Amino acid sequence: MASLATKPKLAVILGTMTFGYRQMRINDLNTVQSILEAFKAQGWNELVYPIQGGEHQPERLKELFKESLKALKVNKVDIFYLHAPDHTTPIESTLGAVQELYQAGHFTELGLSNYASWQVVDIYHICKNKGYVLPTVYQGMYNAITRGVEAELFPCLRKFNIRFYAYNPIAGGIFNENFSFDGDVPKGSRFDPNTAMGKLYRPRYVTPAHAKAVANIQKATASHGYSAIEAAFRWMRHHSKLDAALGDGVIIGGSSLEHIVSACQLLDKDQPLEEDVIKSLDDGWKTVMVSSAPYFR
């Protein structure tokens, strides 16, 4: 029996980090167009594209932002994210440049990503005291076996009315039954050790603790006739700390059209998970918790 009543649908956002570069698996216009059309057909239209964090010096930040507008062929975007902290630039000067861009009408909302909770508090109060645009959305790493944001960050965001968008809902893909923790991975994939992304993701998720956790989760879900990936998405909607009423959402991605459509459909499922599957996910988090990567950078 399902353990909880159905929860409202979360917002679904399409992450496009894997689009565009030759070393990525989605690098032709026709494929991208078909994915965008399919995503829209599922009822969603919000996209996010992260670039490397840093370079928050005021003039450089404004230069990069305007380059992005030019590439997008627009004068304004909905959300401007500070994607990760620049530890070499005082945040006050960065926020001053952000406010200039806001006053020029170049974006509607300010977003943060990969900042520690204390940094969010600092940014919020600087913006509040100076009359700057306030942050209203935060992108963070969150899934059934990566829950570092729950203890400290979530209470912070709730206090300041900042909604949360979760990235890595299936832990980069390690829930996939075909994923190999100790074998070869496809060239150009998220876990390719020869790419910058692989160098980020392998220490994050390819560990003995994660392998043990995923094996136990897959055993639990198999007994009910569905995959660990399905369990991961259903957990996000029905059992996580995300709250649709507050505007929270899930950022999905993938290397194919089928991945994107499947993710939307699984997040749309009304059925909560069975108790033993929930326990396997809870136990999985306990297994990896000590060695889990921090949510901030």
**pLDDT tens track for 184-217:** 888 877 898 988 889 999 999 999 999 999 999 9
Q: In this structure, how many other beta carbons lie within 10 angstroms of the beta carbon of residue 130?
A: 11
Buried b (16+ CB within 10 A) or exposed e, 208-235: ebbbebbebbbebbeeeebbbbbbbbbb
Alpha helices (H) along 42-161: 58-72, 91-103, 117-130, 153-159
Report which of residues 192 and 265 the model is more confident about: 265
Q: Give the domain ranges of the chain.
A: 11-291
Q: How far is CA 72 from CA 68, 77, 262, in A?
A: 6, 9, 28
Give the contacts of 90 (CB within 8 A, at least 6 positions apart): none
pTM to 2 decimal places: 0.94
Report which of residues 159 and 257 the model is more confident about: 159
Q: Report yes or no: 174 and 214 within 8 Å, Cβ to Cβ.
A: yes
Q: How far is CA 232 from CA 167, 182, 240, 266, 273, in A?
A: 12, 22, 10, 9, 10
Q: Which CATH class is domain 11-291?
A: alpha beta
**In this model, does residue 25 exceed pLDDT 70?**
no
Report which of residues 159 and 49 the model is more confident about: 159
**pLDDT tens track for 140-198:** 999 999 999 999 999 999 999 999 999 999 999 999 999 999 888 888 778 989 888 89
DSSP of 126-139, one letter per residue? HHHHHTPPPEEEEE
DSSP state of 274: B
What is the pLDDT at residue 142?
99
DSSP of 198-222, one letter per residue? HHHHHHHH-SHHHHHHHHHHHHHHH
**In this model, does residue 24 exceed pLDDT 70?**
no
**pLDDT tens track for 80-111:** 999 999 999 999 999 999 999 999 999 999 99
What is the pLDDT at residue 167?
98
Calculated CA dihedral for residues 119, 202, 148, 118, nearest 10 degrees: -10
| H-helix or E-strand spanning residue 192 | none
Angle between helices 58-72 and 91-103 (to 10 degrees): 40
Return d(Cα 282, Cα 213) in angstroms, integer.
10
Q: What angle do CA 143, 242, 294 make, to 5 degrees?
A: 40
What is the pLDDT at residue 220?
99
Assigned token pair, 228: 């660990």
**In this model, does residue 3 exceed pLDDT 60?**
no
